[in-house]
Structure 1
Amino acid sequence: MARSNQSQSKNNEKAGTFFVATLVLWLVSVIFEIVFNQRKELLFIIAGACFYQTANWVIRSFVSHDPIFVNTSVSLLHSIITSVSVVFILVNQWLKNGLNEMFDHSQLVENTWPWAYPGLCFSCGYFAYDQLDMLHYRLYSGLIPSILVHHLILLICFTLALYRNVTINYLILTLICELHSIFLHVRKVRRMAGVRDAKSRVVRVEWVLHWFTFFFARLASHVLITIKLIKDAPKFEKGVELPLALFGMAGMNLLNIFLAIDLFNAFRREKNPQQNDHRHRE
């Protein structure tokens, strides 16, 4: 048991060192773009990171000192803000140009919808903040923590797209999954608050919304985006845009499969708590 804990601690330390290094390199690149290339529009990334760090401090000071609760609460705030922003951007564009034009290849790759660029920057700042918060409080485990890999993939894809100012609208579409993330974080906060009765109406409604948003806002939307990328592959110019987009979506779809397995197991445990008393509790 002691050896197992020691091995896990070493794995966590190795993972932490690697992801801290990648985060530092990412920050240096962003500062370089802002300062030396005069990309002032990228300041929204810094603004996003500062906003969510401030939210972290407020919750930690006035609500709870539990790192997991604080991190989850800020993540919930991000999911709500991002979901509202993405829906606003999509509805605004739909009413303005209609569905056919807004999902045209040139619109998704070469153009940028109103508010999409600062919205993507702001969300990018959140992922940097969240990566740092999880590294600081060791809110991960294993040699290859999926949540840290997820954030790293997003930071790479988002920042490269923002630097080149391409595929911004594609990335905004991927963020519709934050509608499902709302219920991921709500469930976690609810359980930490001690509300675990699977037979209660609130919990049952939550799970219905959980599965609905998972299949439509996360799983289906990401699969459709991937299909759209493959279908429009000949329309992409030579460069890193298509390979990077396909790599990013492959990673997200794979993580969605793992998430579906975790959700199913969590649903089964919560529905049959008496059969799982002997297991490690979530």
Structure 2
Amino acid sequence: MGGGKRNTVETFFLATLILWLASLCFQIFFNKRWELLSVIAGCFFYQTSNCLIRFFFSTHKDPLFVNTSVSLLHSLFTSASVIFILFRELCNGPSGMFDHSKLVEDAWPWAFEALSFSCGYFAYDQWDMLRYRLYNGWIPSILVHHLVLLICFTLALYRNVTINYLILTLICELHSIFLHVRKVRRMAGVRDAKSILVRLEWFLNWVTFFVARSAPHILITAKLIKDAHKFEKGMELPLALCGMAGMNLLNIGLGIDLLKAFKRERKSQLGNLHHHRE
């Protein structure tokens, strides 16, 4: 039963990944969309990073450790890219930066390339998780999440619309840095809840969860609803609203999971303190 379920999941998500790749190759080679080569470049960059981490950290060849390390690299790279793009725009004058036409029909300098590169990462990560079976359940949320992002990002890149909106959603990668740091830290065996570094990590985890993930996604959703009448008829608005609804639901689930993890570590710390006193 378990093997059958796993094979069914793998077959479905692998098929969608192959269809995605075929669609991308068609756009690049038949429609001559050479700018989309940056998506392929992203795939190769993160797959190469995976191989290098596996080579240099030979004592940590656990696929989950390697996958999380590459995810940390993506969060660092994407966060830096988004901050650079937004800072550059703010320096050039923020007037009209968040107008509907600017967010939907235009693309800030380097925004298309940053989104393409990140899209390549999600394709790589989907493949890596399928290859090493780094998921659980009939409907793995992580695979569904990656599939939804691939669809939204790729359609936006094909039609060259809502690029800036999607760049704004990637601000959440700033919070993902600390999620991945925590995961890598625990897999490396560092679990002292009394450590100053661990406490600082938790502080930054919570701050960025609210400032870089929850608040931006709520504001983007509000902006979409406010400007709904400005969208032309088509799939852009429904797809954007569904995508943001999914992101906000995932944020609620993530917040609950973080709170549970925080309480577990606090409980473990108090238990160890009580044990030493005895």
Q: Which amino acid aligns with 1:62?
A: F
Distance 1:16 1:77 in 2: 26
| Structure 1 residue 258: Cα displacement | 1.1
Q: Which amino acid aligns with 2:176?
A: S
| Residue 276 of structure 2: aligned partner | none
| Structure 1 residue 276: Cα displacement | 9.2
What does the per-residue CA deviation read over 1:91-135, in whole Å, with 9 as the maximum and x for residues that have no partner? 10111131x411111100011000000100000000000000000
Structure 1 position 184 matched with structure 2 position 179? yes
| Residue 258 of structure 1: aligned partner | 253
**Selected match of 1:82 from 74, 78, 88:** 78
| Structure 1 residue 12: Cα displacement | 2.6
Q: Which amino acid aligns with 2:247?
A: M
Give matches, 1:1-282, under 5 Å: 7-63=1-57, 64-98=60-94, 100-273=95-268
| Structure 1 residue 16: Cα displacement | 1.6
| Structure 1 residue 273: Cα displacement | 2.0
Q: Which amino acid aligns with 2:184?
A: V
Verify the 8 A CA contact 1:45 1:122 in the aligned structure 2: yes
Distance 1:17 1:213 in 2: 36
Distance 1:11 1:265 in 2: 29
Report the secondary structure of 2:77's partner residue: helix
Unaligned runs of 5+ residues in structure 1 are 1-6, 278-282
Distance 2:203 2:215 in 1: 16
| Structure 1 residue 18: Cα displacement | 1.1
Q: Which amino acid aligns with 1:264?
A: L
Task: Give the alignment's TM-score, normalised by structure 1.
Answer: 0.93
Verify the 8 A CA contact 1:269 1:276 in the aligned structure 2: no
Verify the 8 A CA contact 1:69 1:189 in the aligned structure 2: yes
Distance 2:45 2:162 in 1: 25
Report the secondary structure of 2:192's partner residue: coil
Task: Give the alignment's TM-score, normalised by structure 2.
Answer: 0.94
Identity, in percent, stands at 70
| Residue 4 of structure 1: aligned partner | none
Distance 1:11 1:275 in 2: 40
What does the per-residue CA deviation read over 1:208-254, in whole Å, with 9 as the maximum and x for residues that have no partner? 00000001101111011000000000000111111111111111111
| Structure 1 residue 261: Cα displacement | 1.2
Distance 2:97 2:5 in 1: 45
| Structure 1 residue 11: Cα displacement | 2.8
| Structure 1 residue 48: Cα displacement | 0.3
| Structure 1 residue 8: Cα displacement | 4.0
Q: Which amino acid aligns with 1:82?
A: T
Verify the 8 A CA contact 1:15 1:143 in the aligned structure 2: yes
Q: Which amino acid aligns with 1:116?
A: A
Q: Which amino acid aligns with 1:211?
A: W
1:48/1:236 Cα in 2 relative to 1: closer, same or farther (>3 Å)? Answer: same
Distance 1:62 1:276 in 2: 37
What does the per-residue CA deviation read over 1:7-46, in whole Å, with 9 as the maximum and x for residues that have no partner? 4443332222111111111111000000100000000000
Distance 2:12 2:256 in 1: 27
Report the secondary structure of 2:109's partner residue: coil
| Residue 280 of structure 1: aligned partner | none
| Structure 1 residue 197: Cα displacement | 1.0
| Structure 1 residue 61: Cα displacement | 1.3
Distance 2:271 2:237 in 1: 45
Distance 1:37 1:141 in 2: 38
Report the secondary structure of 1:65's partner residue: coil
Aligned residues: 270
Distance 1:205 1:171 in 2: 29
Distance 2:4 2:61 in 1: 26
Distance 2:225 2:3 in 1: 41
Q: CA RMSD in A?
A: 1.4
